[in-house]
Structure 1
Amino acid sequence: MSLTGDQMELREEDIRKHYPAALALLEGFDHTPRIARAGEPVATERSSGVGTRRRFRSTTPGLVTRSTVRPEGVRLLERIEAADDGEALVSPLQAVAMNAVRRALAIALALAEGFGEATALAGLKRANLAGDLPAGRKGEFSELLAAEALISLHVFGNALAYLLSSHGSEVSVEVGDVEEVLSDNGQLALHGALWELDQKLASMAQDETRMVAVMSAYAEQLMEKVALRAQSAAHLGAFTGAVWKVEADDLVIRGFTPAGKARSTSLSMSFKKPEEVIGNHIAKYQSMKLAKMLMAYDFDRRLNPFAELGGFIFTFMGDGMPGTGKTTLIQMMAGLINEYCSVAGYPFRYQNLSTENIDSYQGKSGQNAKDFVNGILDPGVIGFGTIDDIDQLAGKRGDRQSSAGQLEITAVLMESFAGANTVVRGNCTFGMFSNFPENVDDALRQRAGARFLVDGPQTREDYVDILHLLLGRGHEIPLGDHEAFAAQEIRKAVSASFAQHARPREAGLLEVFDRVRGEVGELDTIAKMGRYLKAIQQADARFTGRAIKNITDAVKVRAMDFELPDEWMENPELFLFKGYDEKRAMIEELRVPVTSEMVLQEINRYADSEFRYADKSDEAAIEDMVREFERTEVAKKRFLEGRG
């Protein structure tokens, strides 16, 4: 192993020297399960007759051998080549799977060996073989062997999932829990993992597409199980405290964190330019700022200066009536990020979580949501995740109309967006969009750190601009007394939009605002604004401490009330390729001071949205009750008529 920057290079020769041992494991070994239970005796079917399966033979010319592997033995290569309905030749996908599992094993063995040399394990192994192991070190030896086992298992699963990630398909499978996780030593641990993988392939891999899906799903489940076990294990510092790079595969191993395939998602959407978004001034401005904020992410430090300084938008909610421009806003923001990433050579990943991800199988909807979140959170990419029509996708707790799948998605999103283990690195953002935000679970809605009111064109100038834009050039109608798109000049429009929030818009909140201001005067101190916040909470009990956090986060965004210069995006050398500390210093120079006007505007902007949601929610509930009463009256009438 050699040192490259902050990474340890796992050399190719150190990996390839383990190829023979890895191949021997794949060709066959015996394993008696200790934790998991074996499934149906499928191994005998694998050798049901001469000529029905291809067989691996000895490479020694002229030597005829008989398999000595018992019926319960593990022969993973044969299992993989059997996943093709008896085809005579190994397919390209089967060859990929065979090479991937061999290389994953070799990487795991190489890293385990490196761990042994970096700790006392290698010396203790030699002493144990020679019969010289001191009695006082037997406990340490056992703990180090357990650490080696966990490392071997996680690296194997990590490498296998990574190597297969670009060969997957739309097919997905539920492999169930991983049980045969053994911690005696690295070799036995890999025996247990390969045995269990063989069992799952036997029962689920009816064809090669499902074979890859089973292997990938098993690798993911194995990593998750081992990572939980590692939380209470000892002697793992030598592994978790370093970063290893496998140059040939571009694989980076960072402790028990899964490696993501740092490749861009090819986008088929039609991008929109900012000038094609009419109205929605604040939403458009903050989307443009956020697209540039993401580009400040430092891939070496795995942190964004905006996330450290405050003002980074990790989650936001855009709400508005149908046809007001939510989809256009998504197309604009995705287009900007895609363009910036193309210039900088950064991998960009865009994904949308849609109603297609709701599944009737228990747990599958939650798994789909978790895969979506993890794909965007991948620290090796710039990520943008959207959840369109979230009111249909995520269930509202307590609502009898919410399906189990919808409630699973709600639980995953709540934990992912503001859970105990949520880490905001600043490489990605999630946007939730809805025409009916009042139907979104209150706790999930409050996890949206920023609110974008997508209200579409508002002024006369807006409507002239959108008509002019959508008509295009295939006509000769004069524009008239109007300067096209002058009203869309972003700075001017945004200043006017923010100023409108000096007073609330919703009637219920305006009453609270006027009453408090009548009691204490202008809300120009923290004490007075705190009193206003308490009055809001008394009017709406859902206005909790999380709301205050979202407001202060929005204020910090306003303190970053500047756009990174366009030339910084066009020429990466000016900013994007600089070191983290230099980026941070350049951003700090642009920061503006926080004012009481900013704070009051953001309080009103956020509280307006909550009061708007509450009013709509109450009105919807009243309408439902009215319909229920009407149905009850009709039912009574028919019942009485029937009896008469």
Structure 2
Amino acid sequence: MSQTSDAMELREEDIKKHNSVAGALLEGFDHAPRIGTPLAADAPAEKSSGVGTRRRFRSTTPGLVTQRNVASAGVQLIGRIARADDGDMLVSPVQATVMHALRRAVAIALAVAENYADQSGLGDLKRANLEGSLPAARKTEFSELLAGEALVTLYVFGNAVAYLLSSHLTEVTVEVGDVDEVLTDNGQVALHGALWELDQDIASHASDDARLVGTVCAFAEMLMEKVALRAQTAPRLESFKGAAWRVEADDFTVRGFSPASKAKSTTLTMTFKKPNEVVGNHIAKYQAMKLSKMLMAYDFDRRLNPFADLGGFIFTFMGDGAPGTGKTTLIQMMAGLVNEYCLNAGYPFRYQNLSTDNIDSYQGKSGQNAKAFINNIIDPSVIGFGTIDDIDQLAGKRGDRQSSAGQLEITAVLMESFAGANTVVRGNCTFGMFSNYPENVDDALRQRAGARFLVDGPQTRDDYIDILNLLMGKNHDIPLGDHQPFAAQEIKKAVAASFESHSKPHEEGLMKVFDQVSKDIGSLDTIAKLGTYLKGIQEADERFTGRAIKNITDAVKVRAMDFELPDEWMEQPDLFLFKGYDEKLAMIKDMRKPITVEMVIQEINRYADSEFRYADKSDEIAIENAVRDMQRMEAAKKRFLSGGAG
């Protein structure tokens, strides 16, 4: 399912014609480093202890090429790799795999760079330059295109290396540090610099096979990161960013400056829950069940979900409720449903939870952990479900002196990833943030949750009987009594009642706004009147911004999709899942419901109720803390005066 219809085929013959050049680069070439600092002259002949000895030098001007009095050194990667063991005269299978992966990655990079040169016009300028007929007016363009070729070559090389060796990684991790020798003269010089630095890293860190693979992959990741950052401001890269190339033999797709990854599922060890085992939480359960099926509508060829196209897809949601109300059970239910559907359809499914273990005392590491979590889930070649449990403990609140640097790093990454300038919602994944204390979550981060799942647990007498009956199990003879098991959990009836209850606000502060606006302008039955109500809410709570309006309208669009895809569509993939994108889109359009005034009012109240609830709790906590501080100061003052009098 990883084949993409929008990717051009990178033909095998176009790659293999670069094998001789790639092989020659691995055998040996001379390179005088410009930015990186080389090892001591005798270092290549020494056995590395696995501890880095190379002092890092970082230019203060990005992209600056400086001439340094450093003699050219021979770079012989094949020999370097062969020595990365206990002195065995034979090359190990892992070493051979690394050599083949590096040659393949160089060949792919050169083939893509050749395509880039043809599409961007660089090829014509190169020929004109060789003939001495390059116009002076185009020299700047020529220089910029050569720099673009260098960045393309380096990124594709790093991307291919990381992809080809990903299945050979072990639990051994290697920190190689920053990549310095990033040269942008042209593609060939760029490869010389990268391979020189890789040779240095292997000498410093690769003391055995596991560390060899770890070193090469870590270098590839750091190279990609450095090049992608440089490419953000580099000109003349549009033809590369907007295109995709498919290498069929490796199941590898080059898609701009985005890392490729193998479409592997994660092995889930959690205990799954069935929907009837979730008692209460009717709206949250219903939305989770709908979202699970929405994910399955994702089209791997188009790399887009019809629900995302129509505006009814939930990319991020916030699940909040008191401790013990069923947030973990809800996660187990949704992950179990998606896992079951993916197994039936043969789709790769990836689940991951971002936990407090990802907070690191090392500066920048927490942000890297969060970014890796995001990238793992948004991978367009899988169906992804990411959860952030206890987000109030994990992501720091800006301005809160108790938030650590690591927590604030995670907050910044999540905010940028969930609603940043580069956020692309394809509809293949969703993120759930869960908290017992959502009022402690940063306001801007909380508002990036497009939907709110109130996890309020069992509420009615029937709910409590059902949950007791469920948890008691079968090993007893106690009669059930006058009760119809799980009748109260009939989802459609319960959800209809839950939505209807939001025709009027629940929170006292919002009730006052609703009543006042209704008194002033009458029934909220036009866009103008609904907008007046929204303005009234904003006047009562300044945190109710334009993002809140977007979240409400998104929720209304979800309500227009207020239907569940039939179970048989999940059980028999040919009925829906395996159909073409346009056919799936048409089938979903036929099931859409018209948007009504009642829907809009209910969604405004549902969202605003949650914000008022969070704000009230947050303000109350702040007041309590301030009062506690004043009481302490008063007690300290009395004690001080008492001591002074004595």
Shift of 1:193: 1.0
Partner of 1:22: 22
- Per the alignment, do residues 640 and 95 of structure 1 end up closer, same or farther by CA in structure 2, a change over 3 Å counting? farther
Shift of 1:545: 1.0
- Per the alignment, do residues 468 and 19 of structure 1 end up closer, same or farther by CA in structure 2, a change over 3 Å counting? same
Shift of 1:289: 0.6
Moved more, 502-511 or 410-419: 502-511
Partner of 1:45: 43
Partner of 1:350: 351
Kept in 1, the 8 Å contact 2:312–2:557? The answer is: yes
Q: Give the partner amino acid of 2:11.
A: R
Q: Deviations over 1:340-361 (max 9, x none)?
A: 1112211111111110110111
Q: Secondary structure at the match of 1:264?
A: coil
Moved more, 243-252 or 625-634: 625-634
Q: Give the partner amino acid of 1:383.
A: G
Shift of 1:632: 2.8
Kept in 1, the 8 Å contact 2:4–2:301? The answer is: no
* Separation in 2, partners of 1:101, 1:326: 46
Q: Deviations over 1:164-194 (max 9, x none)?
A: 2233345555544433222222211111111
* Separation in 1, partners of 2:16, 2:473: 61
Instruction: Output aligned runs, 1:272-421, within 5 Å.
Output: 272-421=273-422
Moved over 6 A (4+): 130-137
- Per the alignment, do residues 257 and 4 of structure 1 end up closer, same or farther by CA in structure 2, a change over 3 Å counting? closer
Kept in 2, the 8 Å contact 1:153–1:223? The answer is: yes
Partner of 2:102: 101
Partner of 1:67: none
With normalisation by structure 1, the TM-score equals: 0.90
Instruction: Output aligned runs, 1:144-543, within 5 Å.
Output: 144-205=145-206, 208-231=209-232, 236=237, 239-543=240-544
Kept in 1, the 8 Å contact 2:174–2:211? The answer is: yes
- Per the alignment, do residues 232 and 357 of structure 1 end up closer, same or farther by CA in structure 2, a change over 3 Å counting? closer
- Per the alignment, do residues 94 and 359 of structure 1 end up closer, same or farther by CA in structure 2, a change over 3 Å counting? farther
Shift of 1:386: 0.5
Moved more, 549-558 or 144-153: 144-153
Q: Give the partner amino acid of 1:11.
A: R
Q: Give the partner amino acid of 1:579.
A: G
Q: Secondary structure at the match of 2:594?
A: coil
Kept in 2, the 8 Å contact 1:44–1:71? The answer is: no
* Separation in 2, partners of 1:541, 1:207: 59
* Separation in 2, partners of 1:386, 1:24: 47
Q: Secondary structure at the match of 1:502?
A: coil
Q: Secondary structure at the match of 1:245?
A: strand
- Per the alignment, do residues 341 and 541 of structure 1 end up closer, same or farther by CA in structure 2, a change over 3 Å counting? same
Shift of 1:122: 4.9
* Separation in 1, partners of 2:217, 2:583: 40
Unaligned runs of 5+ in 1: 50-69
Q: Give the partner amino acid of 2:557.
A: K
With normalisation by structure 2, the TM-score equals: 0.90
Q: Give the partner amino acid of 2:399.
A: G
* Separation in 1, partners of 2:409, 2:435: 19
Q: Secondary structure at the match of 1:395?
A: coil
Q: Secondary structure at the match of 1:30?
A: strand
* Separation in 1, partners of 2:443, 2:208: 44
Kept in 1, the 8 Å contact 2:172–2:211? The answer is: yes
- Per the alignment, do residues 149 and 504 of structure 1 end up closer, same or farther by CA in structure 2, a change over 3 Å counting? same
Partner of 1:58: none
Partner of 2:594: 593
Q: Are 1:630 and 2:628 counterparts? A: no
Kept in 2, the 8 Å contact 1:283–1:454? The answer is: yes
* Separation in 1, partners of 2:206, 2:521: 71
Q: Secondary structure at the match of 1:25?
A: helix
Shift of 1:304: 1.1
Moved more, 89-98 or 190-199: 89-98
* Separation in 2, partners of 1:31, 1:228: 25
Tell me the matched-pair count: 621
* Separation in 2, partners of 1:237, 1:276: 51
Kept in 1, the 8 Å contact 2:356–2:394? The answer is: yes
> What fraction of aligned residue pairs are identical, expressed as a percent?
75
Kept in 2, the 8 Å contact 1:352–1:385? The answer is: yes
* Separation in 1, partners of 2:239, 2:488: 59
Q: Secondary structure at the match of 1:148?
A: helix
Q: Secondary structure at the match of 1:73?
A: strand
Q: Secondary structure at the match of 1:481?
A: coil
* Separation in 1, partners of 2:4, 2:609: 53
Moved more, 282-291 or 94-103: 94-103
Kept in 1, the 8 Å contact 2:344–2:570? The answer is: yes
Q: Give the partner amino acid of 1:565.
A: P
Kept in 1, the 8 Å contact 2:282–2:494? The answer is: yes
Partner of 2:59: none
Q: Secondary structure at the match of 1:535?
A: helix
Shift of 1:234: 5.7
* Separation in 2, partners of 1:544, 1:236: 36
Shift of 1:39: 4.4
Shift of 1:592: 0.5
Kept in 2, the 8 Å contact 1:10–1:245? The answer is: yes
Kept in 1, the 8 Å contact 2:5–2:301? The answer is: no
Q: Deviations over 1:411-440 (max 9, x none)?
A: 110111111111111111110000110110
Shift of 1:244: 1.9
* Separation in 1, partners of 2:238, 2:536: 51
